[in-house]
A and B are shown apart, each in its own frame.
Chain A
Amino acid sequence: MTHITLTPNIEHADDFYADLLAAHDGLTKPQSDAYNARLLLVLANHIGDPEVLKAALEAAKART
């Protein structure tokens, strides 16, 4: 089983969340979408491990 952290792992989670919202301040919807896409790619590259990335793609799927 590939290790992907799905338990709380972000220090000062509220601060990160606020930063994430702030990053979108003043952006139009297309700009925000583009920002999210760039952010996703930066984070994915940081993770690097293809197995972890696959597990993340799975974990992010909506439950039906």
Chain B
Amino acid sequence: MNKIFEVPMYPYARHPDQDEVTPVRRPVVIIGAGPIGLGAAIDLAQQDIPVVILDDNDKVSFGSRAICFAKRPLEILDRLGCGAPMVDKGELWNKGRVFFGEKNVYTFDLLEEEGHKNPAFINLQQYYFEEYMVDRVFALQAEGKPIEIRGKNRVDAIGAHDTHVTLEIDTPDGPYNLEADWLIAADGANSPTRRMLGLDFDGRVFEDNFLIADVIMKADFPTERWFWFDPPFNKGQSALLHKQPDDVWRIDLQLGWDIDKEEEKKPENVIPRLKAMLGDDAEFELEWVSIYTFQCRRMDRFRYGRTLFAGDAAHQVSPFGARGANSGLQDTDNLAWKLKLVIDGTADASLLDTYSDERVYGADENILNSTRSTDFITPKSEMSRILRDAVLDLSEQHEFARPLVNSGRLSVPCTYDGSSLNGPDELGGPERTRVGSPCVDVKLKTGYLLDMLGDKFTILTIDTDAPDTLTEAGITATRLALSTSDDPTGALHERYLDEASNGIYLIRPDQHVAARWDTYNETAMRAAIRTAIGKE
């Protein structure tokens, strides 16, 4: 039987654009049909912005690659209409174990908070993830939405102009040219777009190699994240075991810097390593093996004229903490509504600079966290190893040391503190829903809060009054009127009011808080809307 990642999902088909003498101009072209390119495309197409996705391949991701998806991206995917199949298929987990040497030094439980539609984390192979997103693209097409994927369309040259971008594309039928008002580069860590435009990608390269293997195995290990420091089967290095759907287990083994990659990838060298880890009796089959190194780095900015970079093309982190694909989807969440307003002429193109500002801020947060994890997992000096081992030694007996153990600080969404789009924060409400934060979900009697917010500007009122709609600077914000009595558990009050008895929030299309007060003031609300679209 063929694996999902062996079957072309969007095989090459000749497009009429290829027969045009004068290159056709498209509003938005996206390079890369990975999770980030697909996310951007679906988001824009749902808002009726025509998009063309170009990919040099025609299949989903080979191997599991990104496997761990966090709550905020799942919420975004839910808004994009493809979150549910992922959560249904994915392995839910919230427990983990940390091993040091031969000992299980402690076990943790992420203790999920109640009242959220989506779980804290799921594990899902990237190929399923992409499959469900491609399914969504086809479903949107069937609904008549302006979205298409062109497989085996490789971009060979890019010309950046003030008013548009030109693309030279190679296909099995030969080359053709295309123009785009806007180009989104979601073409991964080695982004050919970045290279073709001659842009820098600065940061820190970590001198280490990791062997990743997808192993098919009937095993009764629990669905937990197991992380080993200095295990007997991989002395002086680290290891990770995590369950994926279909009895596929993901194993990451740190190998060190001075290795022969091709040699290490051979099954005759991989299998003994896995046997040492899983036990001699373990019966397993190798589905996929790869060796990766990683960098923590980002582009100087994510907008260059009419080209916008997103996901790994714009920023790269270590895999510890699941901050790659997860942060890339937060990029597109931030970008799509802004690009729509610019294309519609509602906002100035400078709004797209705030995409760069806000997501550079997010990328720096991810790079900081992921660099710290890497420094803990692979100590760079004798003393950093001594301190690391001391933390692990103490963690078995003393609870205080456990927060210092860093095998990856798992992805949490970024709050855009200090963003130029932020309006007043005059509620004295909870820290977690302060201006710049993504809204936290709440289960109400009538459904989930995030479903009600959708992807438009919303005026959320809790036990206070406001008009049903307010139009300012081309934006119509619609009221969502709630009362603390809509949530008998008290979570709405706790997450959005805290000390206050009533509150009003202006919420952006990406569900981040733009401003908040205790009561409605029309002048202040109008000013906050203008601020949120870069017009103040």
Residue ranges of A at the interface with B (Cβ–Cβ < 8 Å): 33-34, 37-38, 40-42, 45
Bound-state Cα–Cα, A38 to B396, Å? 12
Q: Which residue of B lies closest to A37 (CB)?
A: B390
**Main SS class of interface, B:** helix
Q: Which residue of A lies closest to B388 (CB)?
A: A37
Render B399-420 as a binary contact track against A, CB cut-off 8 A, 1 for contact.
Answer: 0110010000000000000000
**Is B394 on the interface with A (CB-CB < 8 A)?**
yes
Task: Determine whether the beta carbon of B394 is less than 8 Å from that of A34.
Answer: no
Task: Determine whether the beta carbon of A34 is less than 8 Å from that of B386.
Answer: yes
**Is B76 on the interface with A (CB-CB < 8 A)?**
no
- Residues in B neighbouring A33, C-beta threshold 8 A: 386
Task: Determine whether the beta carbon of A37 is less than 8 Å from that of B389.
Answer: yes
Task: Determine whether the beta carbon of A41 is less than 8 Å from that of B386.
Answer: no
Task: Determine whether the beta carbon of A41 is less than 8 Å from that of B394.
Answer: yes
- Residues in A neighbouring B386, C-beta threshold 8 A: 33-34, 37
Q: Which residue of A lies closest to B395 (CB)?
A: A41
Bound-state Cα–Cα, A51 to B387, Å? 21
Interface residues on chain B, number (Cβ under 8 Å): 11
- Residues in A neighbouring B391, C-beta threshold 8 A: 41
Q: Which residue of B lies closest to A33 (CB)?
A: B386
Q: Which of A33, A34, A37, A40 has the most CB of B within 10 A?
A: A37
Bound-state Cα–Cα, A21 to B400, Å? 25
Task: Determine whether the beta carbon of B400 is less than 8 Å from that of A38.
Answer: no
Q: What 14 additional pairs, Cβ within 8 angstroms, besides A37-B390, A40-B387, A45-B401?
A: A33-B386, A34-B390, A34-B393, A37-B386, A37-B387, A37-B389, A38-B390, A38-B393, A41-B387, A41-B394, A41-B404, A42-B394, A42-B398, A45-B400
CB distance from B524 to the nearest CB of A (A): 36
Bound-state Cα–Cα, A21 to B394, Å? 21
Q: Which of B386, B391, B398, B401 has the most CB of A within 10 A?
A: B386
Bound-state Cα–Cα, A34 to B390, Å? 6
- Residues in B neighbouring A42, C-beta threshold 8 A: 394, 398
Bound-state Cα–Cα, A37 to B383, Å? 9
Bound-state Cα–Cα, A34 to B398, Å? 16
B154-191 contacts to A (CB < 8 Å): none
Q: Which residue of A lies closest to B399 (CB)?
A: A45
B202-221 contacts to A (CB < 8 Å): none
Bound-state Cα–Cα, A24 to B167, Å? 69
Bound-state Cα–Cα, A38 to B393, Å? 8
- Residues in A neighbouring B393, C-beta threshold 8 A: 34, 38
Report 6 cross-chain contacts, Cβ distance below 8 Å, ordered by A residue. A34-B386, A34-B393, A38-B393, A41-B390, A45-B400, A45-B401
Task: Determine whether the beta carbon of A34 is less than 8 Å from that of B400.
Answer: no
- Residues in A neighbouring B389, C-beta threshold 8 A: 34, 37
- Residues in B neighbouring A40, C-beta threshold 8 A: 387, 390
Q: Which of A33, A41, A42, A45 has the most CB of B within 10 A?
A: A41
CB distance from B370 to the nearest CB of A (A): 22
Bound-state Cα–Cα, A26 to B394, Å? 21
Bound-state Cα–Cα, A5 to B389, Å? 29
CB distance from A35 to the nearest CB of B (A): 9
- Residues in B neighbouring A41, C-beta threshold 8 A: 387, 390-391, 394, 401, 404
Bound-state Cα–Cα, A23 to B386, Å? 18
Q: Which of B387, B390, B391, B393 has the most CB of A within 10 A?
A: B390
Bound-state Cα–Cα, A31 to B220, Å? 38
Bound-state Cα–Cα, A42 to B395, Å? 11
- Residues in A neighbouring B400, C-beta threshold 8 A: 45
Bound-state Cα–Cα, A34 to B388, Å? 10
The 8 closest A-B pairs by CB, nearest first: A37-B390, A45-B400, A38-B390, A37-B386, A37-B387, A33-B386, A38-B394, A41-B390
CB distance from B219 to the nearest CB of A (A): 35
Bound-state Cα–Cα, A42 to B400, Å? 8
CB distance from A26 to the nearest CB of B (A): 18
CB distance from A34 to the nearest CB of B (A): 6
B358-388 contacts to A (CB < 8 Å): 386-387
Bound-state Cα–Cα, A45 to B402, Å? 11
Q: Which residue of A lies closest to B400 (CB)?
A: A45
- Residues in B neighbouring A38, C-beta threshold 8 A: 390, 393-394
CB distance from B220 to the nearest CB of A (A): 36
CB distance from B389 to the nearest CB of A (A): 6
- Residues in A neighbouring B394, C-beta threshold 8 A: 38, 41-42
- Residues in A neighbouring B401, C-beta threshold 8 A: 41, 45
Render B132-144 as a binary contact track against A, CB cut-off 8 A, 1 for contact.
Answer: 0000000000000
